[in-house]
Amino acid sequence: MNWTAVASIYRFEMARFFRTLMQSFMSPVLSTSLYFVVFGAAIGSRIDQVEGIDYGAFIVPGLIMLSVMTQAISNASFGIYFPKFIGTIYELLSAPVNFLEIVLGYVGAAATKALFIGVVILATASLFVDLTIAHPIAMVLFMLLTCLSFALLGFIIGIWAGNFEQLQLVPLMIVTPLVFLGGSFYSISMLPPIWQKITLFNPVVYLISGFRWAFFDTADVPVGLSLMAIGGFTVACMAVIWWIFKTGWRIRS
Q: Which residues of this chain interact with another protein, rule CB under 8 A?
A: 2, 4-5, 7-9, 11-12, 15-16, 19, 82-83, 86-88, 90-98, 248, 252-253
**52/96 with CB nearer another protein:** 96
**128/245 with CB nearer another protein:** 245
**89/230 with CB nearer another protein:** 89
Environment class of 240 (CB within 10 Å of its CB; exposed 0-12, middle 13-18, buried 19+): middle
CB of 74 to another protein, least distance (A): 17
Sequence-distant (≥ 6) Cβ neighbours of residue 68 within 8 angstroms = 114, 115, 117, 118, 143, 146, 147, 150
CB of 75 to another protein, least distance (A): 15
**180/245 with CB nearer another protein:** 245
Residue 185, φ and ψ in degrees, nearest 5: -115, 10
Residue 83 amino acid letter:
P
CB of 235 to another protein, least distance (A): 26
Report CA 207 to chain centroid distance, whole Å: 10
Residue 114 amino acid letter:
A
Where are any strands of DSSP class E within the chain?
Answer: 49-50, 53-54
CB of 98 to another protein, least distance (A): 8
CB of 89 to another protein, least distance (A): 8
Determine the straight-line distance between the first and last CA of the chain, rounded to whole angstroms: 25
- Return the bridge partners of 77, or none: none
**7/191 with CB nearer another protein:** 7
**9/157 with CB nearer another protein:** 9
Mapped onto helix, strand or coil, the DSSP state of residue 155 is helix
CA distance to 29, 55, 208, per residue, from 230 (Å): 27, 26, 10
Where are any strands of DSSP class E within 146-213?
Answer: none
Residue 221, φ and ψ in degrees, nearest 5: -125, 160
**18/201 with CB nearer another protein:** 18
CB of 96 to another protein, least distance (A): 4
CB of 4 to another protein, least distance (A): 5
